[in-house]
């Protein structure tokens, strides 16, 4: 494969970035539109929470299967097919008149993202040869994903002002453009692993992920249905144990357990879970602080956090130079430390705080995303055989999705336990600080590591 960045290479990267941007902006826009959806459809708080949870369940539950499907069935095939499913069910969500219709649409959209995201990541690694060029491509890709989430907050506010249904219809238009461009541009896979699906592993893994994701989501309501929460975790862990036993004996495992011998991969997944979890929890709390405690509108809230989107500019320009000079792990470590500082600076927040006092946290988070999210994506495939990049992508996005769900659920539970108002908000803010500190400690264990040897697929 040529290392030259010709017009076609840029076009392929643009299309793949468009898809991951679509996934990020879709989630962020919906979060901003939730109050308008509840008001229009008369949804209960439980049903409204379910609309968000349904996507998490679909995404987290099917991600490992999605990563394996990309390796076995073809990255291009999986990417194009599930992009079409994403398009269709996003549109159906816009026509919903009942809560159950929204639940179904969001669940299937989450499943589509679970297959589409690892296929897209592995297409990036397949189209750019290993080294600085692939690293730059991955940094652009990851920066676009993070930018989609931050810009989606503003876009969601604008579209909700026109009508909440546009939050569903706008992704349809964007995904249709991406799909039409992707069909001629993205060629068939250069590398495809031979093998068959591990049916028993797929069933137990998907069941375990669904139940664990459901348990995590239920943490938002610690006093409601506690027995269901405990049962979800218990059965999920039993299925996870069964999954591990099946994979040890399977000739064609869904997840080759030997891949977990890669220190960089394990650190990247733990780092991604804690980094994204801390940010998701912080963003959730700040949204409540600005809208419920300060009375800001959804659009004002989105604009307040817009500066975090500077990562879309810095990730492809500054971060590659930092990675080349200081190494991947050091850059990730500094990014996590910046996030610790960002959350800690918000701890003294008061009801009369001017935006100038919030701005340093937003700027630091933008810098943190710029130099952390992309390098984590690189680290997730560092030393992994190319034919298993779909699996590695599935593991990474599973960690990201679980981190997001865990971050929001934990801060919500702490906020409820600590009581409403400013005191509860400040207490819950300790959770993102602690998560970022732990993420920094995990990353620090890899600061002195040597360049990893590739982990062979047959081990």
Q: Assess if CATH 1.20.1250.20 describes domain 8-186+199-255.
A: yes
**For position 23, what pLDDT does the model report?**
84
For residue 195, the model assigns a pLDDT of: 57
* Rounded distance between C-alpha atoms, residue 406 and residue 393, angstroms: 20
* pLDDT single digits (tens) 59-73: 877 887 888 788 888
- Per-residue pLDDT tens for 404-451? 878 887 888 888 788 778 998 999 999 999 999 999 999 999 886 654
Q: Are 218 and 232 in contact (CB under 8 A)?
A: yes
5: which DSSP letter?
Answer: -
pLDDT for 311-354, tens place per residue? 778 887 888 889 889 988 999 999 999 999 999 999 999 999 99
Please tell me if the domain spanning 8-186+199-255 has the same topology as the one spanning 259-445. yes
Fold (topology level) of 259-445: Growth Hormone; Chain: A; (1.20.1250)
Say yes or no to pLDDT of 167 above 50: yes
Query: In 3D, which of 393, 274, 395, 267 has the Cα closest to residue 330?
Result: 267
What pLDDT, on a 0 to 100 scale, did the predictor assign at position 190? 52
pLDDT of 458:
47
Query: What is this structure's pTM?
Result: 0.81
By the 10 Å C-beta count (0-12 exposed, 13-18 middle, 19+ buried), 162 is classed as exposed
Three-state SS string over 178-240 comes to HHHHHHHHCCCCCCCCCCCCCHHHHHHHHHHHHHHHHHHHHCCCCCCCHHHHHHHHHHHHHHH
Res 1: pLDDT: 41
Residue 301: phi and psi, rounded to 5, are -65, -45
Distance CA 322, CA 348 (A): 32
Asked if 428 contacts 411 with a C-beta cutoff of 8 angstroms, the reply is yes
CB 142 within 8 A of CB 105: no
Query: What would the two tokens of residue 254 be?
Result: 């869904």
What was the pLDDT predicted at 228?
81
Alpha helices (H) along 306-351: 311-317, 319-326, 328-346
Domain range list for the chain:
8-186+199-255, 259-445
How many residues are present in the chain? 459
The predicted-structure confidence for 279-311, as pLDDT tens digits, reads as follows: 988 988 888 888 788 988 877 887 888 888 787
- How far CA 337 is from CA of 220, 264, 340, in Å, comes to 27, 19, 5
268 and 379 Cβ atoms separated by less than 8 Å: yes
């Amino acid at each position: 494969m040529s290392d030259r960045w010709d017009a076609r290479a840029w076009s392929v990267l643009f299309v793949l970035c468009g898809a991951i941007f679509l996934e990020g902006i879709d989630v962020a826009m919906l979060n901003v539109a939730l109050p308008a959806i509840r008001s229009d459809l008369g949804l209960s708080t439980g049903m409204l929470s379910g609309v968000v949870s349904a996507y998490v369940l679909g995404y987290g539950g099917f991600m490992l299967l999605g990563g394996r499907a990309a390796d076995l069935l073809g990255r291009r095939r999986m990417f194009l097919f599930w992009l079409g499913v994403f398009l269709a069910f996003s549109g159906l969500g816009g026509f919903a008149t009942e809560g159950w219709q929204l639940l179904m649409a969001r669940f299937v959209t989450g499943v589509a993202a679970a297959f589409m995201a690892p296929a897209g990541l592995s297409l990036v690694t397949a189209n750019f040869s290993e080294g600085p060029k692939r690293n730059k491509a991955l940094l652009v890709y990851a920066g676009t994903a993070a930018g989609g989430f931050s810009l989606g907050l503003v876009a969601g506010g604008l579209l909700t002002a026109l009508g909440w249904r546009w939050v569903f219809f706008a992704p349809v238009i964007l995904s249709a453009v991406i799909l039409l461009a992707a069909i001629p541009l993205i060629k068939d896979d250069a590398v495809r692993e031979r093998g068959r699906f591990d049916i028993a592993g797929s069933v137990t893994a998907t069941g375990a992920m669904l139940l664990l994701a459901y348990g995590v989501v239920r943490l938002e309501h610690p006093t409601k249905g506690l027995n269901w929460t405990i049962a979800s975790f218990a059965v999920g862990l039993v299925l996870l144990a069964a999954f591990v036993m099946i994979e040890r004996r399977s000739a064609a495992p869904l997840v080759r357990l030997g891949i977990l011998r890669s220190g960089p991969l394990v650190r990247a997944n733990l780092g991604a879970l804690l980094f994204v979890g801390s940010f998701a929890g912080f963003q959730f709390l700040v949204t409540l602080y600005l809208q419920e405690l300060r009375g800001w509108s959804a659009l004002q809230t989105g604009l307040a956090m817009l500066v975090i989107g500077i990562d879309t500019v810095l990730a492809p320009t500054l971060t590659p130079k930092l990675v080349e000079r200081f190494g991947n792990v050091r850059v990730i470590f500094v990014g996590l430390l910046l996030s610790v500082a960002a959350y800690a600076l918000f701890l003294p927040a008061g009801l009369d705080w001017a935006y100038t006092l919030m701005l340093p946290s937003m700027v630091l988070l933008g810098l943190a995303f710029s130099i952390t999210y992309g390098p984590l994506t690189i680290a997730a495939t560092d030393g992994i055989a190319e034919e298993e990049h779909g699996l590695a992508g599935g593991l990474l996005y599973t960690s990201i999705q679980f981190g997001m769900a865990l971050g929001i659920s934990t801060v919500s539970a702490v906020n409820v336990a600590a009581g409403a108002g400013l005191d509860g908000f400040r207490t819950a803010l300790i959770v993102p600080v602690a998560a970022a500190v732990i993420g920094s400690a995990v990353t620090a264990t890899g600061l002195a590591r040597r360049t990893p040897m590739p982990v062979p697929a047959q081990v």
